Amino acid sequence: MNTVLVPRIPALVDEVSVRLIAGVVLAVGIVALVTQQWWLYALLAIDFTIRAVAGPRHSPLAQLVNRWIRPLVRIAPRLTAFTPKRFAAGIGAVMTAALTVLWLVRFAAPAPGLGVAMLVIAAVMVLFPALEAVLGLCVGCKIFGLLGRVGLISEDVCVDCVRPSARAERVKIRV
């Protein structure tokens, strides 16, 4: 009998850790953009993909943050739903993978416009993690919620994400 191991995906994650991870992504994105070391986006693409597919437990970046940086931050954990964060990591994976492909194409056969496309994606990959790290605004999570509200994502996936009033309704019922 063959056994398939499926990674255990958490339902909740620590918002503080998520913001710290975004801070590291922001730092790497700025370094990559300023120095034009585009290969750094390949590393980010791998890590985003791992977080989106297998969860933060298997992500080297999440492990780095949770083992070395998070213990230095004296803020109590704030739990948040992982499903929209996972969706956001998927967006990050697509964006950084696209940037990596553009870099490889430009490296192999330079073509007009590739550099501009790379800079636009790189700028987005600085803006989105900056919003998460500094303001706690997860653009991917907002997109996830919007897709849920228009019916493209089932409420069953994350009821609190699609219909934020659901949590308040459950709290009222318990009281």
Of 48, 113, 29, give the one whose Cα is nearest residue 86.
48
- Asked if 100 contacts 55 with a C-beta cutoff of 8 angstroms, the reply is no
Q: Where are the alpha helices (DSSP H) in 55-138?
A: 60-64, 82-108, 114-130
User: What is the model's pLDDT at position 171?
Assistant: 47
How confident is the model over 5-42, as pLDDT tens digits?
556 788 899 999 999 999 999 999 999 999 999 999 99
Q: pTM for the complete prediction?
A: 0.86
Can you tell me the distance from the alpha carbon of 12 to that of 133, in angstroms, rounded to the nearest whole number? 18
pLDDT at position 121 over 90: yes
User: What is the model's pLDDT at position 172?
Assistant: 52
Can you tell me the distance from the alpha carbon of 100 to that of 118, in angstroms, rounded to the nearest whole number? 9
